[in-house]
Chains A and B, each alone.
Chain A
Amino acid sequence: MVELRELCRTYQIGDQVIEAVRDVSLAVEGGEFVSIIGHSGSGKSTLLSMIGGLARPTSGTVLIEGEDIWSRDDAFRSDFRNARIGFIFQFASLIPTLNAIENVALPRTFGSRRRRAADEEEAIMLLEKVGLGERLFSYPNELSGGQQRRVAIARALINRPALLLADEPTGDLDEETEAEVMELLLSSCREFKAAFLMVTHNRAISEGASKVVRLKGGELQ
């Protein structure tokens, strides 16, 4: 499903070259839940962004469903992200001017599968699934942190992705909400048979992962 080969990313700040990710090779099977743990600055988010086609690796290869995404052009990667990858970020990643339904249906705006009525129906179905059937028309500023995260999960699932990438998805949530969100993520991945890659510094939420890999100084331990 996902194969990383000697993935590297370096930054240059002035004369100093910083190796954020160094020679990471990893394989993730379809439907598998892999947790990447490490301290802040260990390169977890950078690694996830390279896997998701958001940040170009300095070297190495990212193969998703056999496709070397970094050998293709930006338009291909955009379409690929839209169709095959779902993202859940650490921050409240909703568009403030759109209500819950519109936020969830937003990825359909960019894809080739757009059918407004059907998209909205599907968005409603997903929002009901994540327990927000009563807040369909609420705007992000009318939702709690946990509810916003649920909307983001519904949005990540709308195109039935093969790969779900989550970057500290419960970072700013209380313990109870954290457990609910994690449960929701795992059940959704099982239902959609999606591979799930999550980066976190919280070892506790990695329970249930089929594989836990630790990143330190940009290297897999």
Chain B
Amino acid sequence: MFGLALRNLQRKPFRTYALALAVAIAIGAVFATATIMWGVERSLGQGFSKFGADALVVPKGAVVNIKSALLTGEPSTFYMKGEYASQIRALAGVAKVTPQIFLTTAAGSHCIVGNAFLVGFDPKTDFTVMPWLYQKQDREFGGGDVIVGGNNNYQVGDVVYFYGETFTVFGKLDRTGLGLYDNAIFLHIDKAYDLIDSSKKYADVPSMGFARGDVSTLLVQIGGTAKANLIRFAIAKNPDVRVVTAGNIVTSVRQNLTALFTGTVALTAVLILGNVLMISAIFSTIVNERKKELGLLRAIGARRLSIFSLVFSESVMLTTFGGLIGLGLGLILLRIFARSIGFHLESLNIPFLWPPVFHIVLLGAGSILFAVLMGALGSVYPAIAGSRFEPYDAIRAGE
């Protein structure tokens, strides 16, 4: 029966190849989209798993700003009292707390690093910046030093200048996938407070907006056995602060990326639905074209199930063939779009990591399964219709 189905497909090569190509386009889109989405998820997961902080405490009203700062590295400034650090540190289950303060370089000749995002951090308590050091000078980090994110062009030993002071690039971070860490320039928190005084030397530089001791965020690491949610609730009892977790940032990013891909997914869904309907319509026509032949097969002993299998397997063979072409097409699409997607994600400061080969193979197998399902769904109605013809009526078709 499979042999007969295969011969039937060879009967009208143009129709077969045209249908297979239509399926291939849909499957190629499914495969490429799924692979890219998986890659993005993986890239995000990798970035946040290395982040180290379980929660960020920010001033009330700054939740959106911190997410944007973290993800895109877009300079953002907001402040709260630094004394919250000791309150949080006192909570049972909290392992580490470290402050960071956000400031930006000023426009004009006092700063030569452009519109950079400066982050003051405390090297004594830090657990999220120093672990990312990829290159560094062979000495202790000092007040006159800065550490640059992985996306910066500065090299270790370079000199940068802002607020009238020069700083030496002490080290460079590895790329993290978090915009803040990849783009910012990190300096000692005490030096950041000193810049308040430096900035006052220049009449054209606006006031910094924070006082010594203020912080922008407190990064919290929760002990291994502590119940993270209870601690988050305890911190959130303070009405002036909000707790942001890595998890809900990932969710937020995922939502943004989902929006980014929704168009593609919707288009793919329409393509698939269109293909299923097209297959159904074409196979209905094929069944009617071959009504006499189907009647003849019934006359010589084919059961209804055999006729169903003949039409069904012909359709599934065709879409599977289309699916295989689609895989090749998907791989070409991935190659073509890798750079453009890579650049887009680069602009979001999200490095793109391809899924492991095994997962790509799985996605490929899943896409083929999709193609099989398209053929199966598309042919169910015509196959049933073909199997229900009364043999005599079918034989006399066209008379």
Contacts of A87 in B (CB 8 A): 299-300
Question: Are A110 and B302 interface neighbours, CB within 8 A?
Answer: yes
Please count the residue pairs between chain A and chain B whose beta carbons lie under 8 angstroms apart in the complex.
Answer: 72
The verdict on B301 contacting chain A, using a C-beta distance below 8 Å, is: yes
A55–B392 alpha-carbon span in the complex (Å): 5
Q: Nearest CB to that of A98 among chain B residues?
A: B7
Question: Are A55 and B303 interface neighbours, CB within 8 A?
Answer: no
A53–B299 alpha-carbon span in the complex (Å): 8
Nearest CB of A to B190, in Å: 85
Within 8 A of B (CB), among A31-62: 45-46, 49, 52-56
Contacts of B1 in A (CB 8 A): 109
A218–B301 alpha-carbon span in the complex (Å): 27
Among B1, B4, B293, B392, find the residue whose CB has the most chain A CB atoms closer than 10 A. B392
Contacts of A111 in B (CB 8 A): 301
Contacts of B396 in A (CB 8 A): 45
Contacts of B7 in A (CB 8 A): 97-98
Question: Are A97 and B10 interface neighbours, CB within 8 A?
Answer: yes
Could you tell me the dominant secondary structure of chain B's interface residues? helix
A89–B397 alpha-carbon span in the complex (Å): 13
Question: Are B302 and A78 interface neighbours, CB within 8 A?
Answer: yes
The verdict on B67 contacting chain A, using a C-beta distance below 8 Å, is: no
The verdict on B391 contacting chain A, using a C-beta distance below 8 Å, is: yes
The verdict on A93 contacting chain B, using a C-beta distance below 8 Å, is: yes
Question: Are B303 and A79 interface neighbours, CB within 8 A?
Answer: yes
Q: Nearest CB to that of B293 among chain A residues?
A: A95
Among A78, A79, A95, A155, find the residue whose CB has the most chain B CB atoms closer than 10 A. A78
Question: Are B300 and A107 interface neighbours, CB within 8 A?
Answer: yes
Question: Are B4 and A78 interface neighbours, CB within 8 A?
Answer: no
Chain A residue total in the interface (Cβ 8 A): 30
The verdict on A17 contacting chain B, using a C-beta distance below 8 Å, is: no
Question: Are A110 and B293 interface neighbours, CB within 8 A?
Answer: no
The verdict on B8 contacting chain A, using a C-beta distance below 8 Å, is: yes
Per-position 1/0 for B3-41, Cβ under 8 A of A: 010011011000000000000000000000000000000
Interface size class of B (residues with CB under 8 A): 20 to 34
Our pick among B4, B391, B392 for the contact of A97 (Cβ within 8 Å) is B4
Per-position 1/0 for A95-127, Cβ under 8 A of B: 111100000001101110000000000000000
Contacts of A159 in B (CB 8 A): 301
Among B300, B302, B392, find the residue whose CB has the most chain A CB atoms closer than 10 A. B300
Among A53, A83, A87, A97, find the residue whose CB has the most chain B CB atoms closer than 10 A. A97
Contacts of A75 in B (CB 8 A): 303-305
The verdict on A91 contacting chain B, using a C-beta distance below 8 Å, is: yes
Q: Nearest CB to that of A52 among chain B residues?
A: B299
Contacts of A54 in B (CB 8 A): 295, 298-299, 390-392, 395
Contacts of A93 in B (CB 8 A): 296
Question: Are A81 and B300 interface neighbours, CB within 8 A?
Answer: yes
Q: Nearest CB to that of B8 among chain A residues?
A: A97
Question: Are B298 and A107 interface neighbours, CB within 8 A?
Answer: no
Nearest CB of A to B316, in Å: 18
With known contacts A49-B392, A55-B390, A110-B306, A96–B300 Cβ distance under 8 A? no
A91–B292 alpha-carbon span in the complex (Å): 10
The verdict on B204 contacting chain A, using a C-beta distance below 8 Å, is: no
Contacts of A206 in B (CB 8 A): none
The verdict on A142 contacting chain B, using a C-beta distance below 8 Å, is: no
Contacts of A46 in B (CB 8 A): 392
Per-position 1/0 for B377-396, Cβ under 8 A of A: 00000000000001111011
Nearest CB of A to B40, in Å: 47
Nearest CB of A to B1, in Å: 7
Nearest 3 pairs between A and B by C-beta?
A: A82-B301, A55-B392, A97-B7
B residues apposed to A, CB below 8 Å: 1, 4, 7-8, 10-11, 292-293, 295-306, 390-393, 395-396
* 30 A/B residue pairs, CB under 8 Å, sorted by A: A49-B391, A49-B392, A53-B391, A54-B390, A55-B391, A55-B392, A55-B393, A74-B304, A75-B304, A78-B301, A79-B301, A81-B300, A82-B300, A82-B301, A83-B301, A87-B299, A89-B299, A89-B395, A91-B292, A95-B297, A97-B4, A97-B7, A97-B8, A97-B10, A97-B11, A98-B4, A98-B7, A107-B301, A110-B297, A159-B301
